[in-house]
Structure 1
Amino acid sequence: MNSKKLCMLALLGAALLPNIASGEIKRTPVAPTRIVWMSDTTGEYIKNPEILMNDFKGQVSVADNNCTVLRSNGGHQAAVLLDFGKELHGGIKISSGMRNSSRPLRLRVRLGESVSEAMSDVAPYHNPNNATNEHAMRDFDIQVPWLGSLECGNSGFRFVRIDLLDKDVDYLLRNVQAISVMIDDPEIGSFKCSDERLNKIWETGAYTVKLNMQDYLWDGIKRDRLVWLGDLHPEVMTVSNVWGKHDVVRRTLDFAKADTPLPGWMNGFSSYSMWWLLIHRDYYLHHGDMAYLKDNRDYILGLVKQLDECVDANGEEQMTGVRFLDWPTSEMPDVIHDGLQSLTYMTLDAARQIAGWLDDKEMDAVASKCMERMDKFNIKRTDASQAVSLCLLSGLSKDRQKDCGKLLDNGINSFSPFYGYYAVEALAENGHIDKAMDMISDYWGAMIDLGGTTFWEDLNYPDTKNAARIDEIVPDGKYDIHSQGGAYCYVGLRLSMCHGWGAGPTPWLQRHVLGVKPVEPGCKTIEVKPNLGNLAFAEGTVPTPYGPVSVKARKDESGKTVVSVKAPKGVKVNK
């Protein structure tokens, strides 16, 4: 299937079920941190802009004359661009002061994840270099009341541009607040080490997923506000390592199952149904919810039988539906084939684990016999990082160090925020902790260097060399990484700059640097084997059903790693 058809499928997605209140969503007003740009700096059309930075209690008053004045006359329309300091999910609240006329006035509001997006015009999908109103309204006209407040918008954004549309009027703008809408649950997991850059990356990954934990676990808060099952795996790993067991995960997995009766493939992709099963394996390892696993047994068994039917007598996968790993490989059929071969094997192995926990002989037999056929098939061995990573993680690699060498040779120029997670996971599992940490620092750190406060849907690393920051007007001669970058369905400003699949380094740092891995379901037994690499120390916590496990690892004067572990009652620690 060509990239155009894949893009259209990604646009269609699946209709969300009605909202399910979690009791955990909190609304918080957020003040702007700075004025990025104004259409006028002479004071003729915008007066007292500094008032927008003043403290505001959220309530307009007849006695309050402290307002910014936006004036339009002749050919000039007043406009201002505000920065709220970090990516947010929610809308904005515009408060108006008392003017001579009580009639409503018209404003244009533009929300942006970057300065370039907030300064852009909306465009239809056939002009994808510009921003859109596809999944969330980020460019719209409103009417504001006299001496009152109006809330509008629901999207992902950091920047807001407001234009006065009415002619020959003075508008008294008392205040603009962002209204943040996200969970209020405390972070149980934590990570800190001697490298502040890695600390920031851990925090950014956690914050990225936190913004996407809405009524369901979304992929993006501007685009896509949808449930994409492959993309969900890095997010669920992040949730388990930061918040522990959370209702949003079950709601999302249950939605996907209800939305996709077998023999359908989730989101139309066979690989995404496989990721759904892999998520269930990892979810049970972390949380040990046997009742939930039993609830899903019939669907899991049906899916395993469906996978078995898609593996021929020679052990070669012949998956139906859309054949897909990630967007950068979407037009590389050999890479997709190698990747699906490994991903199928990984999924069947996870099914055997689940069968063991359920004492399900039928599930075990189907998965085991299929794996026996697959053991006899030799993968073509493309060198693309996505396929090589899955081959290593599945155990199908015939030369693990040679394959790791391919990942190292390809480097971060071949990365995507989604499958880059599995590349560093494969490297760590094969003893290349330092190299993997360097890749995380360079690749994910580059988004932070460019002003990102969340991780993005895509980053082509070579584009960073002459790129402007996303929190500034692009200077002459600099590359606009938001409006000029991207590919496939995320061309230009359609790119999501808060995408949950980019959060992989957060659970990676806890799993491989702190070295905390569940061994027995429900974390009844865990492994704690820190890998400091070139770090002087690392410490943090990982949630378990019994309470958090605390780990501290430091190098002494001789270079030996000294480890301290505090585990709650009920958790056995293997060192």
Structure 2
Amino acid sequence: MKKNFILNIRTSFLLITTLTTLLSLFTTSKAHAQTNATWIWYPGDYEIWLSNKMQNRRTERGSFLPPFWKLDSHYVLIDFHKDYDIPTAEEAELAVDGQYNIKIDGKAFSGYPKKISLPAGKHRINMKVYNQASVPSVYFKSPHVVSDASWKVTFEDKEWIDASGKASDLSATKYVDAGSWNFNDALSMPSMFRLPVKPMKAVSSNKKAHSILVDFGKETFGFLKLHNVKGKGAINMYFGESKEEALDKLHGELADSITIDQAKADDYTFDGSRAFRYVNVVFDDNVSIDDVSMLYEYSPVEQRGSFKCNDEQINKIWDVAAYTMELNTREFFIDGIKRDRWVWSGDAAQSYLMNYYLYFDSPTVKRTISALRGKDPVTSHINTIMDYTFYWFISIYDYYQHSGDKAFIAQSYDSMKSMMDYCLKRRNKDGLMQGLSGDWVFIDWADGLSKQGEVSFEQMLLCRSLESMSLCANIMKDAQGATKYTALAKDLKTKLFAYYWNAQKHAMVHSRINGKQTDNVTRYANMFGIFFNYFNEAQKQDVKKYVLLNNKVPKITTPYMRFYELEALCAMGEQDYVLKQMKDYWGGMLNLGATSFWEEYNPDKKGAEVYAMYGRPFGKSLCHAWGASPIYLLGKYYLGVKPTSPGYNTYSIEPQLGGLQWMEGTIPTPKGDIKLKVSATEIKITSATGTGKLRIKSKSKPVSNGAAITTLANGSYEVSIEKGKDHTIKYTAI
């Protein structure tokens, strides 16, 4: 027991004292401008290895619960290669994660040297590294030769790839992202990486003879710490996102137990991180515990986005949404902190979008996308879910539109092609997707939702995925691929309307079975068709009236699909209606005491039943990433900022107050922030990036402090926004 105490204290000390170093690791990597030494590896391997570690931390009441899909592994043997030319000999230091040999011009050094002498002139360094347990990685530093984007790596497939992503055969035009992160110190071995922690005290404690019930005041995540533990016997911990869950010893989702034999009082910190607000610590007669606290674990990404308005409930919704994202932003974007703690593609696709308006942390996006894809050969859909595969395709192009990062498209393109080949081979005779053996057609958690036949929603996502493939093929200058994917997308889009549009129902039907339309109309394909811009104006108005605003069409109860439903309505200019929906839906969770947003909310449920899901009384996650969508909606459709060319080189601002009197906020972009304040009579904008176009409607021509104003039709005006200038526009909102 004493040994365990020492290990836990040592672990806590390590996590806390390395915080300063770890903070630098989450800054945006600029691999192609690397001037200092950094740890390097085969591109994508570290992401796969790290995600495997994270996703296998899940437990339920002390039982290990791993993912149910295929997990790939890193390449265990890597050859690192560097040609250099230096005027004089110099000494180099190196650090390696794994067994290795090192050669210069084919001549090997004996043993495992930590320092070598580099001869002057033109020479070649080769390092071969083997590591089964973690990713083979190298740190190399001399005055003129450093491990960075200029190194090449291979897993013995005989095709050299620069760490910066460029194939040695220039005709191959194969580019991938750098196989590095910001591990820029020889002692910062990538396999040692841990998220930072900070101490946190409970806000209240109810101590009885043999139990302590603590409340940390809000949903939180980290390592439980027991203070001055003494005695001999059992200690049981019952974690709860709600008080009811913590007090239910039989049915709570998370519980742990330890046995101690400790004559001298000492602290105990648990190795496993847990999600909770409440913890009920119950201990035997011969055991005593003075107090309970925790080490809060977090990802030190910078919150750059903001939103504030005259409506305090909306402000609270935005703040709680931001905290929900904070909790679910870890090494990767995960679905929820209590139950799964896995990387799900559909959940992550929404987290990326929220991230663009809250953090704009590109490294976490890229790590998550890479980890989800894994390696070839493809043997199943991502997470085994058909629609989640399609979200993966769409999210890559979304990332490019927001970041302008062509290198990541290059790194991902081959994996995109093989993943799409897998999908296309699974189409039926009509060229449509339907669930085959091993496929999970998810769509949404909804009672009675049919997944049978050829579901229109899946065809729409495939069509968008093919369009994304075509766009990425053009970026890669793959003319043959662009032609192929464009033709496939065009053909499928034609089939979408031929097979699913029903003029009498003014909407797309849910599915086809045996070649015939079903009578069922659901919201899913119809709302995606709006913001994918697949419908003409008349069809959009029909869908809005007969589907989105029609209470006879089954309602959506998950924040997951409410995200897209409200986006479709915002795209149709229904910000007034959406604001009321946000206040009702997310405000409804706040009224029930939510401190982070949930996996599902149904206002018809009362009492403790609001915590139930999956047939379990506390199965519902009360902190789910997809619950944070107001961040995205308020940033994109109220403040109205979005890129119109990759990386915000150009962008538009179309603010919509939607019933608010005023609002202000900050939108992060790759090259700086866009800040604006909006009322019905004045708009102030400062931008640190690109060239913007402000589009507004006004009863008379706006007046600006020097910005060019163009008159459009129907009382609309366009104002040019220049980088680095403060703009003030006076107008009268219509």
Give the TM bin, normalised by the shorter chain: 0.7 to 0.9
1:157-172 equivalence runs, <5 A: 157-165=276-284, 167=285, 169=286, 171=288
Letter in 2 for 1:149: D
Pair 1:264–1:361, CA change in 2 (3 A):
farther
Cα deviation, 1:125-171, whole Å, max 9, x if unaligned, reads xxxxx3335xxxx3323437432110124111110111122x3x472
Match of 1:205 among 321, 334, 344: 321
Partner of 2:275: 156
Counterpart for residue 68 of structure 2? 12
Say whether the 8 Å CA contact 1:287–1:522 is kept in structure 2. yes
Q: State the partner residue of 2:549.
A: 408
Corresponding position of 1:108: 236
For the pair 1:486 / 2:588, whether they are aligned, the reply is: no
Unaligned runs of 5+ in 2: 1-64, 74-133, 136-189, 501-507, 511-520, 696-734
- Any idea what the Cα deviations from partners look like across 1:183-208, whole Å, max 9, x if unmatched? 12321111111212122222222211
Give the percent of matched residue pairs that are identical in Structure 1 and Structure 2. 26
Structure 1 partner of 2:651: 526
The secondary structure found in structure 1 opposite 2:482 is: helix
The CA distance in 1 between the partners of 2:554 and 2:622, in whole Å, is 19
Equivalent residue, structure 2, for 1:443: 585
Q: Separation in 2 of the partners of 1:291 and 1:376?
A: 33
Q: Secondary structure at the match of 2:253?
A: coil
Work out whether 1:454 is the aligned partner of 2:592. no
- 1:430–1:359 distance in 2 versus 1, CA, 3 Å: farther
User: Match for residue 252 of structure 2?
Assistant: 131
Take 2:257 and 2:458, find their aligned partners in 1: how far apart are those partners?
A: 42
Q: CA, structure 1 residues 431+184, in 2 after alignment: closer, same or farther (shift >3 Å)?
A: same
Alpha-carbon offset, residue 436 of structure 1: 1.5
- Using structure 2 for the length normalisation, give the TM-score: 0.62
Within-5 A mapping of 1:258-269: 258=374, 261-269=377-385
- 2:485 aligns with 367
Contact 2:307 2:666 in 1 (8 A): yes
Residue in structure 2 matched with residue 118 of structure 1 by the alignment: 246
> In 2 relative to 1, CA 532–544 (structure 1 residues): closer, same or farther, beyond 3 Å?
same
Secondary structure of 1:517's match? Answer: strand
Higher normalized strand content (fraction of residues): 2
With normalisation by structure 1, the TM-score equals 0.79
Deviation, 1:330, is 7.4
Q: Report SS of the residue matched to 2:618.
A: helix
Letter in 2 for 1:563: I
What do residues 188-247 of structure 1 show as CA deviations (whole Å, max 9, x unaligned)?
Answer: 111111212122222222211211222222111111111111111111111222111332
1:543 aligned to which of 641, 665, 668: 668
Is the 1:324–1:336 contact (alpha carbons within 8 Å) kept by the matching residues of 2?
Answer: no
CA distance 1:175–1:281, change in 2 (3 Å): same
SS in 1 for 2:558: coil
Letter in 2 for 1:400: K
Q: Given that residues 13 and 226 in structure 1 are in contact (C-alpha distance below 8 angstroms), is that contact kept between their aligned partners in structure 2?
A: no
Aligned twin of 2:187: none
SS of residue paired to 2:273: strand
Contact preservation (8 Å) 1:546, 1:571:
no
Query: Offset of 1:24 from its aligned partner?
Result: 8.2
Aligned-partner residue type, residue 613 of structure 2: G
1:307-326 counterparts in 2 under 5 A? 307-311=423-427, 314=430, 316-318=432-434, 320=436, 321-326=439-444
The 1:142–1:281 alpha-carbon spacing in structure 2 relative to 1, beyond 3 Å, is farther
1:84–1:158 contact (8 Å) kept in structure 2: yes
1:230 aligns with 2:346: yes
Structure with the bigger RCO (C-alpha within 8 Å, sep 6+) is 1
SS at match of 1:327: coil
Bigger Rg, structure 1 or 2: 2
| Distance in 2 (alpha carbons) for counterparts of 1:502 and 1:571 | 32
SS of corresponding position for 2:324: helix
Cα pair distance change 1:447/1:11, threshold 3 Å: farther
The corresponding residue for 1:91 is 223
Q: Is the deviation greater in 291-300 or in 250-259?
A: 250-259
Matched, 1:385 2:523: yes
> How far, CA to CA, are the matches of 1:535 and 1:334 in structure 2?
43
Structure 2 Cα separation of the partners of residues 231 and 22 of structure 1: 28
The answer (yes or no) to whether the contact 1:81–1:162 under 8 Å persists in 2 is yes
**How far off is 1:312 after superposition?**
5.4
Alignment of 1:230-309 (within 5 A): 230-258=346-374, 261-309=377-425
Deviations 1:410-451 (CA, angstroms, capped at 9, x unpaired):
389423111110000111111111112221221122222111
Q: Distance in 1 between the 2:302 and 2:453 partners?
A: 41
Deviation at 1:364, TM superposition (A): 2.0
1:498 CA drift (Å): 1.1
Q: How far apart are the structure 1 equivalents of 2:215 and 2:435? A: 47
Distance 1:210 1:301, change over 3 A: same
1:354 positional shift: 2.5
Take 1:114 and 1:203, find their aligned partners in 2: how far apart are those partners?
20
Higher-helix-fraction structure? 1
1:88–1:334 distance in 2 versus 1, CA, 3 Å: same
Matched, 1:340 2:469: no
Matched AA of 1:370:
L
1:427/1:336 CA distance change after superposition, 3 Å: farther
Alpha carbons 2:460, 2:529 under 8 Å: kept: yes
Amino acid at match of 1:139: D
Distance 1:13 1:315 in 2: 26
Q: Check whether the contact 2:231–2:287 (CA below 8 A) recurs between aligned residues.
A: no
Change beyond 3 A, Cα 1:15–1:294: closer
Q: Separation in 1 of the partners of 2:240 and 2:665?
A: 34
**Whole-angstrom distance in 1 between the partners of 2:400 and 2:481:** 17
Partner of 1:473: none
Q: Bigger CA drift: 398-407 or 354-363?
A: 354-363
Cα contact 1:525–1:574 (8 A) shared by 2: no
Deviation, structure 1 residue 510 = 0.3
Deviations, residues 357-380 of structure 1 (Å, cap 9, x unaligned): 333323322222122222332315
Q: Which shifted more, 409-418 or 365-374?
A: 409-418
- Determine the C-alpha separation between the residues in 2 that align with 1:192 and 1:24: 34
User: Which residue does 2:307 correspond to in 1?
Assistant: 191
Residue 10 of structure 1: CA displacement?
10
Q: Are residues 335 and 318 of structure 1, via their aligned partners in 2, closer, same or farther at CA, if it must alter by over 3 Å?
A: closer
Question: Quick one: which of 246, 252, 257 aligns to 1:140?
Answer: 257
Measured at CA, do residues 501 and 511 of structure 1 come closer, stay the same or move farther in structure 2, by a change above 3 Å?
same
Letter in 1 for 2:683: V
What whole-Å deviation, never above 9, does each CA across 1:458-484 have from its counterpart, x for those lacking one?
222321xx43xxxxxxxxxxx4421xx
| Compared CA separation, residues 177 and 412, structure 1 to 2 (3 A) | farther
8 A Cα contact 1:428 1:512, kept in partner: yes
1:27 has 2:197 as partner: yes
**What amino acid is the match of 1:343?**
L
Q: Which amino acid aligns with 1:87?
A: E
Inter-partner Cα distance in structure 1 for 2:355 and 2:683: 25
- Give the number of equivalent residue pairs: 489
* Mapped partners of 2:384, 2:641: distance in 1: 34
**2:685 matches 1:565:** yes
